[in-house]
Amino acid sequence: MYFPLSWSGRQYLVLEGYPGDTYSVPFSVSRYEPIDVTSSSAVKAKTNTATALIVQTKTGMVRSSSLGAKTVKSVAPELRLEKLTYRSATEAKAARQKFEQSSATAYVEYDMPIQAFGADAFKKHQWSLLNTGQKKGLKGADIGLTAMQKRIAKKKLSTTLVAVIDSGVNPSYADFAGKVRMDLGYDFVNRSKTAWDDYGHGSHVSGIIAAGTDNTYGMTGINAKASIIPIKVLDENGVGYTSDLVSGINHAVKKGAKVINLSLGGDTSSKAVESALSYAKSKNVLIVAASGNAGKKALSYPARSKYVLSVGATGRTDKRASFSNYGTGLDLVAPGVSIPSYLADGELAFASGTSMAAPHVAAVASVLYSLKPSIKATDVENILKKSAKDLGSKGYDTTYGSGRLNADRAASYIK
């Protein structure tokens, strides 16, 4: 049964049965896209109307002037990044040209838009955790969660902080009880200490990572010891800006995140984001990024950044999802087709996208940190790669990277 997304008003589902009957009726969103930094053609058009700049000042130098900016806001003090907003696109363009000529400027770029690009009652639908061949899947084409849980059942586990930089998180679900650190999060869209999800993408990502396990509520998260730091950089329409993404990454590092999940993708690179990613990696933080949903042989940004672990998506038969970007620099793949998790209003929905694949990897990475808090991010990345199930051509290839995520084998490397 399909309800067109163009419908308005209420839609009803009528079920017939007898008193005492129960029903479990998940609904499906055909494509729940990852966040998309606007494509190169769109960015070119947007620069004609952009009124804000991001400026990095060189080390040891002081910016001499704001060149008539209406407002000046610090984006990331540690990175010497500021956002300068002007009254018109013409003023911003003129200021950019002058900043480019200044010896104190490391770089200047427009602040460009980002936007959205997809026991327990639903556990049987979570084929990515246990694939028995249901719905024409391939038995065993899953991340090996059950085997991993048995392996680590008697081991001491520490809580690991995972930053989900997205549209925020709705912490009110029973499955999120004690899992979401709203006190550590921040809403960079509304400048609020409460990063509440009013779009849905961030909650869906967070459920994959940390929803409660075997509590009869809804679904199973991958790491029972993960705590989510919700960082909101997208508004209720799934729209945000590069400057907020930079601030979000910086905030995650400050608050002690061991893993950052960036279900972000697009064609255009950003020097400001690159600076933030470099800073996070220098602080021993593992950054996981979705490869993008254009189905093309080229990774999106920031997945193609050398500072991140890039993740593509596979389906029920261990084949690359048709929408999943691939190519040089791809590190891993993970399940990303018809993955159930929560939306902003608490509903459970299936979603497909590399946005859903990335948090599988972020979650397993957080398990390794829970097993060994002192482990280095580079070691976690190496373990995830060498433990992956080889798919496609033997060894590394640009379609599957090092292979499909294997949680149990990854955990076996932690002694």
> Are the C-beta atoms of residues 314 and 353 closer than 8 Å to each other?
no
Q: Is 355 a catalytic residue?
A: yes
Q: Which ranges in 242-401 belong to alpha helices (H)?
A: 242-254, 271-282, 354-371, 377-386
Q: What is the dihedral of CA 227, 232, 234, 238, to 10 degrees?
A: 40
Q: Is 201 a catalytic residue?
A: yes
Cα 258–346–162 angle (5° rounding)?
0
Q: Count of CB atoms within 10 A of residue 191's CB?
A: 9
Q: Is 370 a catalytic residue?
A: no
Angle at which helices 242-254 and 271-282 cross, to 10°: 10
Which residue in 36, 111, 120, 166 is the catalytic one?
166
Find tokens 């969103």 and name the residue.
Answer: 29
Which residue in 111, 198, 201, 360 is the catalytic one?
201
**Encoded amino acid at 339, one letter:** I
Cα 45–49–52 angle (5° rounding)?
120
The C-alpha atoms of residue 349 and residue 264 are separated, in whole angstroms, by 20
The DSSP call for residue 74 is: E
Going by DSSP bridges, is the β-strand pair 81-85/52-57 parallel, antiparallel, or unpaired?
Answer: antiparallel
User: How far, CA to CA in Å, does 347 sit from each of 5, 11, 173, 217, 338?
Assistant: 16, 15, 10, 12, 15
Q: Count of CB atoms within 10 A of residue 71's CB?
A: 10
> Are the C-beta atoms of residues 66 and 295 closer than 8 Å to each other?
no
Which residue in 206, 341, 355, 402 is the catalytic one?
355
Residues belonging to the active site: 166, 201, 355
